[in-house]
């Protein structure tokens, strides 16, 4: 089973918690979720968002198993090239391995072939202190995959912390993510001792899974059901990022141009994102939009 969608839900539910964990003391306090489907031969990154203060992209890939086709180093290079081509800014990449393994593949942190070298950051969760994840609700599910001398005691501790989250909807969603991720390290019978099934069933994550499972079958429903709650705001984030880049290059934009960009569809925004890298003046942007209007 793929856990990508569970982790994607957690990151998009509270991106700031993940930014604070992965970029401590950076001061990044604003971000925009970006479209994770990169162009060319379609591939989908796990999570991509724009750090407004730093002016760069943070790209996360979650891996349960170290084996991948293509291999992780080549995939990370491929993601970087596509992201940089589309957005033209700095990119910080992090591969997060979830399941303990002795495979040497989880220690690889770069692609190297002849004169081409591309590096990225690697985190093996079982080497990270669990205490780092105990203070933010949507980081709590990661704690049960982290370093611990008493795994069962840690699971019980995390379950208690989830149980006292005041907001009911947030509590239910965190509990659902926790129950799914805990299955990587723990037997279902043990998980059920500490997590109440009825709490999980009230979460939007669980309900999406069940609804889609009834229509497409259990395995397909799990993956697609989670996506229903995850794919939100992509078009708005894309247009906002493009407007930010245009403003940085050409200064204050006319209101009419801003509105025209905000009305573009996702495919048109992606095309503009590529085209704007070649624009030298604002009139070229207006000409491009004029061609779209009359296309």
Q: Is the pTM of this model over 0.85?
A: no
Among 75-89, 194-208, 223-237, where is mean pLDDT lowest? 223-237
- Distance between CA atoms of 246 and 280, rounded to whole angstroms? 11
**Does CATH number 2.60.40 belong to domain 1-127?**
no
Q: What is the DSSP string of 260-272?
A: HHHT--HHHHHHH
Would you say 191 and 212 are in contact if contact means Cβ atoms under 8 Å apart?
no
- Distance between CA atoms of 5 and 223, rounded to whole angstroms? 7
Task: Map out the domains of the chain as residue ranges.
Answer: 1-127, 234-282
| Residue of 285 and 46 predicted with greater confidence | 285
Q: Residue 213: in which H helix or E strand, if any? A: helix 204-216
- Distance between CA atoms of 204 and 70, rounded to whole angstroms? 33
User: Tens digits of per-residue pLDDT, 264-275?
Assistant: 887 888 788 878
Average pLDDT, the chain: 83
pLDDT band at residue 190 using 50, 70 and 90 as cut-offs: confident
Is the bond preceding residue 70 a cis peptide, omega within 30 degrees? Answer: yes
User: Tens digits of per-residue pLDDT, 99-148?
Assistant: 999 999 999 999 999 999 999 999 999 999 999 999 999 999 999 999 99
pLDDT at position 92, please?
96
Would you say 53 and 30 are in contact if contact means Cβ atoms under 8 Å apart?
yes
Residue 1 has pLDDT above 50, yes or no: no
| Residue of 133 and 172 predicted with greater confidence | 133
Q: Residue 32: in which H helix or E strand, if any? A: strand 31-33
- Distance between CA atoms of 17 and 176, rounded to whole angstroms? 18
pLDDT band at residue 226 using 50, 70 and 90 as cut-offs: very low
| Residue of 276 and 285 predicted with greater confidence | 285
- Distance between CA atoms of 201 and 126, rounded to whole angstroms? 28
Q: Angle of helix 4-13 relative to helix 218-230, nearest 10 degrees?
A: 20
Among 43-57, 110-124, 157-171, 237-251, where is mean pLDDT lowest? 237-251
| Residue of 260 and 237 predicted with greater confidence | 260
User: Tens digits of per-residue pLDDT, 2-46?
Assistant: 577 788 888 888 889 999 999 998 888 887 878 777 666 667 788
pLDDT at position 205, please?
52
């Amino acid at each position: 089973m793929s856990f990508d969608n569970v982790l994607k839900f957690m990151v998009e539910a509270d991106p700031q918690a993940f930014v604070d964990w992965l970029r401590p003391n950076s001061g990044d306090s604003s971000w925009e979720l970006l479209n994770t489907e990169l162009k060319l031969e379609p591939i989908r990154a796990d999570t991509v968002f724009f750090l407004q203060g730093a002016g760069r992209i943070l790209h996360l890939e979650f891996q349960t198993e170290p084996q991948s086709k293509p291999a992780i180093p080549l995939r990370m290079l491929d993601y970087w090239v596509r992201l940089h081509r589309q957005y033209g800014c700095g990119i910080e990449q992090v591969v997060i391995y979830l399941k303990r393994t002795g495979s040497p593949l989880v220690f690889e942190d770069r692609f190297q072939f002849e004169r081409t070298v591309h590096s990225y950051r690697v985190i093996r969760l079982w080497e990270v202190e669990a205490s780092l994840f105990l203070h933010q609700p949507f980081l709590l599910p990661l704690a049960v995959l982290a370093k611990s001398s008493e795994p069962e005691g840690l699971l019980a501790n995390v379950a208690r912390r989830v149980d006292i989250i005041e907001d009911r909807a947030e509590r239910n969603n965190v509990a659902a993510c926790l129950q799914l991720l805990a299955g990587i390290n723990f037997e279902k019978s043990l998980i059920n001792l500490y997590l109440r099934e009825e709490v999980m069933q009230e979460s939007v994550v669980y309900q999406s899974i069940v609804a889609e499972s009834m229509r497409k079958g259990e395995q397909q429903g799990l993956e697609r059901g989670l996506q229903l709650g995850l794919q939100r705001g992509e078009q708005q984030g894309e247009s906002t990022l493009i407007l930010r880049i245009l403003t940085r290059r050409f200064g204050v934009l006319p209101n009419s141009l801003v509105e025209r960009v905000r009305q573009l569809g996702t495919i048109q925004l992606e095309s503009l994102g590529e085209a704007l890298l070649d624009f030298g003046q604002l009139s070229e942007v207006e000409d491009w939009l004029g061609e779209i209007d009359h296309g």
